Amino acid sequence: MANKVVISTNIAQTLTEAVEEVKHDRLFLLMDEITQELCFPVVKDIPCLGEAIPITIGATDTHKTLETLAKVWTELGNGGGTRHSLMVNLGGGMVTDLGGFAASTFKRGIKYINVPTTLLSMVDASVGGKTGINFNGLKNEIGVFNAPETVIIDTEFLKTLDQENICSGYAEMLKHGLISNNKNFAELLNFDLNEVDYLHLGQMVGTSVAIKERIVEEDPLEHGIRKALNLGHTAGHAFESWCLSRHPVLHGYAVAWGLVCELYLSCIKTGFPTEKMRQSVRFIKENYGTLSITCDDYEELYGYMTHDKKNTAGIINFTLLGDIGDIRINQTATKEEIFEALDFFRES
């Protein structure tokens, strides 16, 4: 299940080696409209991509659908794809999720390589073998576990991102800091997201990926400790689904807001230190703002939480913390406690 993650400083060499390692008859390159414009120029002259058949899909999560998936399957078929073909996914989490799923199901599975171009996909989506699409109004409802052959992380792509996309990816890094140790977390809280030091950010990305890799290696199919990576996501996915039909938000913003709710639950249920919770909430508030929800939205948000894939027999399942690095998986909360956490989110 484990895939090879390469932190690259020479994308041409790393990608060439990764493509040559996989015997293939046809090479496909999947991008969305944004990565085609901003990131393709970085790789277009690499000789190994000379014969690649490009497939371009619509950008953003609104295109992470069955229709887009069918388009990718169709283009793979029309391009002469066989079981021995290879696909390179160049893009953010939406491209690596959907591309990974398309590759995993076309002809019962072809091999693929991820080249994440956003901070979010570098530290989260492209690593760990989760693939999927949104379905029936629910996030990542359909998908499979299937790891790419290689994930190539080149932080040069980060310079193509706007402030919002940097912040979005950074929320997953905050989560990784919370489940690792005080030193990592302190470094994350002290980083200035308004004046990005790309060299420093690149080093932190390496640390963040290593935290995720270690957990995924231990529990590839999420039976146990991999659930640590769900911190902030039960409430976060509910916020994200709620926004989808109103004004879609970037995944990381929803996760950051989800962290506020789940750190509050950690305080009242598993003894997470109040001061650390307040520090975290302050950082999130300053960099991510807030979401305007009212008490009237609680039932709908709660409904989304009951649909979460991590639940068992309809019981909402949270990952909470006793302290930084003290992970408590399979925690539950009553409806009343969840509403209390939403109150806290609105008031903070």
Instruction: State residue 138's pLDDT score.
Output: 85
How far is the C-alpha of 78 from the C-alpha of 311, rounded, in Å? 40
- Provide the pLDDT confidence category of residue 324 given band limits of 50, 70 and 90: very high
Instruction: Please determine, for residue 13, whether its predicted confidence score (pLDDT) is greater than 60.
Output: yes
Neighbours of 226 (CB within 10 A): 20
Instruction: Please determine, for residue 4, whether its predicted confidence score (pLDDT) is greater than 90.
Output: no
* CATH architecture, range 173-195+219-347: Up-down Bundle (1.20)
User: Are the beta carbons of 293 and 235 closer than 8 angstroms?
Assistant: no
Neighbours of 284 (CB within 10 A): 24
Q: Is 51 exposed, middle or buried (0-12, 13-18, 19+ CB in 10 A)?
A: exposed
Instruction: Please determine, for residue 344, whether its predicted confidence score (pLDDT) is greater than 80.
Output: yes
This prediction's pTM = 0.88
- Per DSSP bridges, beta strands 111-116 and 86-91 are parallel
The 3-state DSSP class for residue 219 equals coil
Q: Is 322 exposed, middle or buried (0-12, 13-18, 19+ CB in 10 A)?
A: middle
Instruction: Please determine, for residue 299, whether its predicted confidence score (pLDDT) is greater than 90.
Output: yes
- Provide the pLDDT confidence category of residue 310 given band limits of 50, 70 and 90: confident
Residue-averaged pLDDT of the chain: 94
Domain 4-160 has CATH 3.20.20.60: no
122-152 per-position pLDDT tens digit: 998 778 889 999 999 888 899 999 999 999 9
What's the mean pLDDT in 168-192? 97
The count of C-alpha atoms lying within 13 angstroms of the C-alpha of 78, restricted to the half-sphere facing its C-beta, is 9
Neighbours of 112 (CB within 10 A): 28
Start-to-end C-alpha separation, the chain = 41
User: Are the beta carbons of 211 and 128 closer than 8 angstroms?
Assistant: no
Counting residues of the chain whose pLDDT is more than 90, the rounded percentage is 86
Q: What are phi and psi of 84, to 5 degrees?
A: -105, 15
Q: Which residues of 140-153 are buried (b: 16+ CB within 10 A; e: fewer)?
A: beebebbbbbbbbb
Instruction: Please determine, for residue 1, whether its predicted confidence score (pLDDT) is greater than 60.
Output: no
Nearest alpha carbon to residue 142 among 101, 109, 87: 101
Nearest alpha carbon to residue 231 among 205, 260, 211: 260
Name the packing angle between helices 251-270 and 335-347 (round to 10°).
120
- One fold for both 4-160 and 173-195+219-347? no
- Token readout for 233 is 């996501």
Q: What are phi and psi of 267, to 5 degrees?
A: -65, -50
Instruction: Please determine, for residue 102, whether its predicted confidence score (pLDDT) is greater than 90.
Output: yes
- Token readout for 53 is 């058949």
Instruction: Please determine, for residue 25, whether its predicted confidence score (pLDDT) is greater than 80.
Output: yes
Instruction: Please determine, for residue 18, whether its predicted confidence score (pLDDT) is greater than 60.
Output: yes
- Provide the pLDDT confidence category of residue 313 given band limits of 50, 70 and 90: confident
60-69 per-position pLDDT tens digit: 889 999 999 9
Q: Sketch the domain layout of the chain as residue ranges.
A: 4-160, 173-195+219-347
User: Are the beta carbons of 149 and 113 closer than 8 angstroms?
Assistant: yes
Instruction: State residue 285's pLDDT score.
Output: 97
How far is the C-alpha of 344 from the C-alpha of 67, rounded, in Å? 39
Beta bridge partners of 115: 90
